[in-house]
Amino acid sequence: MKHFHVASVMLALSLTSTMSLAQSTTDYQDQAKLHDIAKAVSPERIEADIRTLVGFGTRHTLSETESDTQGIGAARRWIKNEFEQISQACGGCLEVYFQSKTISGETRIPDATEVVSVIAVQRGSHDPNRYVLMSGDIDSRVSDVMNSTSISPGANDNASGVAGTLEAARVLSKYKFNGSIVYAALAGEEQGLFGGKILAEQAQKDGWRIKAVLNNDMIGNIEGINGVINNTTARIFAEGTRQTETPEEARVRRFTGGEVDSPSRNLARYIDLMADRYIPNLDTMVIYRLDRFGRGGHHRPFNDLGYPGVRIMETNENYNRQHQDIRSENGIDYGDTIEGVNFEYAAKLTALNAVSLAGMAWAPAPPAKVEINGAVKPSTTLNWQALDPKQNPQLKGYKIYWRYTDAPQWQFSRFVGNVNSYTLDNIVIDNYFFGVASVSQDGAESPVVFPGAAGAFGE
Ligand SMILES: [Zn+2]
């Protein structure tokens, strides 16, 4: 959203005389550590990991599990070993485990098959049960989704996502965070989003307070099917009203708003600003959709349970390189081979994930129980629940954001200190959308939370 940004600065300046309260969101505290994190992401290591994953021949969910060199079993054991090595290098800072469930009787998994994901948790220091999560998918496929033996490199779909997740773990494991970060190599995506479903359901059972899921599915292709070649843009898909909304919540939303302010949308806006601030030559498009038209990804099982989650991916997809048997036909090369991956670009999107995860894990938790009122009054008042100081010792205070109702990104903000209620004088509630973020002593901010059930990030 860079172009818009320039516009918002001009807007704030031109309105200064009539709206002295307005402050552009470009007033943020630059985080030197986030620049370091972005720079530390290595395209060479991402390339090496994609090559290793491609080398397993196929990573189809129903493929070989005994071999040490071929098939899904070898692939997941290698990924687990990589996470364990990363953990060793940081004095055991990662909890690494397989998470599995036997699936059967499904269209794409008819016979009993163990679907095994690899999970690594970097435990937070003060709020360990608050999670932000990055994921990619282990499994690959060719034209026939049930073909478990043909060579299926899945270089972009989705070795790129797994390699990015491993690399983010390497970079972020050198730091300590207030909240926990989860790195997940999920299984069974192509057969029906099983790994994500298993993790989301287990997380819910265990009471994980998940604040963000950054699902990476295809982050390495820069040559679109439409002929566009571009390595400077990425997409963030974010659903609209949350899937778990009750009829009563929908009724309230009709009168108070929130159609475009689900927590997934405000997570996407957060990542969009991270791209503007910390990733050179990358501008993201926030797309107001759950996913590509009629298609799926592993953030959905989390959205299904009400967790904020988005899909991060390349802007320019090439369908000749997705879910295809490797072949040449009429002069066109089909197949998801390593030649279709741009490692610098995959590194750029990995860096975007890493700074977003770090920013949120350093920030206090997003404010909970945010409420707003101000109907038929000259001013707008927001209230929210005080964050637990034991969980959030880094809390400095809260920042109120607002924007015109048809603006895509937050435009105005004001830091209001460590209070739990604040009135914006002479700002009329009808004309803007509002939200609240928490801010740490050194300026790390949470995503903006829109008031009410429609925008809640949970307790
Ligand atoms: Zn796929």
Residue 209 burial class via C-beta count within 10 angstroms: exposed 0-12, middle 13-18, buried 19 and up: buried
* pLDDT for 111: 97
pLDDT at 1: 60
- Ligand 1 centre to CA of 192 (Å) is 10
pLDDT in tens, 350-363: 999 999 999 999 99
Residue 323 has pLDDT above 80, yes or no: yes
Tell me, in angstroms, the distance from the centre of ligand 1 to residue 322's CA: 7
The pLDDT, as a whole number, for residue 26 is: 55
142 CA to middle of ligand 1, Å? 9
Find the mean pLDDT for residues 384-407.
Answer: 98
Give me the pLDDT at residue 62, please. 98
**Ligand 1 centroid vs 158 CA: distance in angstroms?**
7
Q: How confident is the model at residue 20 (pLDDT cuts 50, 70, 90)?
A: very low
User: What is the model's pLDDT at position 2?
Assistant: 52
217 alpha carbon – ligand 1 mean position (Å): 8
Residue 385 has pLDDT above 60, yes or no: yes
Percentage above 70 pLDDT, the chain: 94
- Region 201-205 average pLDDT: 98
Burial of 437 (0-12, 13-18, 19+ CB in 10 A): buried
> Ligand 1 mean position to 293 CA, how many Å?
14
Phi first, then psi, for residue 209 (nearest 5°) are -90, 85
Ligand 1 centroid to residue 82 C-alpha, Å = 23
Residue 329 reports pLDDT greater than 90: yes
pLDDT given for residue 286 in this prediction: 98
Span from the CA of 314 to the centroid of ligand 1 (angstroms):
13
Q: 378 is written with which tokens? A: 């000259």
Q: 58 CA to middle of ligand 1, Å? A: 13
CB atoms under 10 Å from CB of 17, counted, come to 7
pLDDT: which is higher, 20 or 47: 47
pLDDT at 240 over 70: yes
Query: In the chain, pLDDT over 90 holds for what percent of residues?
Result: 94
Q: What is the mean pLDDT of the chain?
A: 94
Residue 192 has pLDDT above 90, yes or no: yes
Task: Tell me how many degrees the CA angle 174-180-186 measures, rounded to the nearest 5.
Answer: 95
pLDDT for 6 beyond 50: no
Residue 16 confidence (pLDDT) above 60? no
Give the Å distance between the CA of 186 and the centre of ligand 1. 12
Higher pLDDT, 287 or 8: 287
42-68 in b/e form (b: 16+ CB < 10 A) is bbebbbebbbbbbebbbbbbbbbbeee
Identify the pLDDT of residue 27. Answer: 81
Distance 412 CA to ligand 1 centre (A): 39
Summarize pLDDT for 104-153 with one digit per residue, the tens: 999 999 999 999 999 999 999 999 999 999 999 999 999 999 999 999 99
CA of 297 to the centre of ligand 1 (A): 8
Ligand 1 mean position to 367 CA, how many Å?
35
Q: Which residues are 113's β-sheet partners? A: 103
Q: How much distance in Å is there from the Cα of 157 to the middle of ligand 1? A: 5
- Reported as a pLDDT band with limits 50, 70 and 90, residue 14 is very low
Amino acid at 308: P
Say how many Å lie between the CA of residue 295 and the centre of ligand 1: 10
Q: Are 267 and 309 in contact (CB under 8 A)?
A: yes
Q: Tell me how far the alpha carbon of residue 141 lies from the centroid of ligand 1, in angstroms.
A: 7
Ligand 1 center from residue 211 Cα (angstroms): 25
Among candidates 343, 349, 110, 364, which has minimal Cα distance to 233?
Answer: 349
Distance, in Å, from the CA atom of 275 to the CA atom of 113, rounded to the nearest integer, reads 40
* CA 190 to centroid of ligand 1, rounded, Å: 6
Give the distance (Å) from ligand 1 centre to CA of residue 368: 36
Mean pLDDT of 409-436: 97
Whether the per-residue pLDDT at 417 is higher than 90: the answer is yes
Q: State the distance from the centre of ligand 1 to the C-alpha of 189, rounded, in angstroms.
A: 7
Instruction: Please give the average per-residue pLDDT across 299-307, as a whole number.
Output: 98
Among 11-20, 257-266, 289-298, 429-438, name the one with the lowest average pLDDT: 11-20
- pLDDT band with cut points at 50, 70 and 90 for residue 53: very high
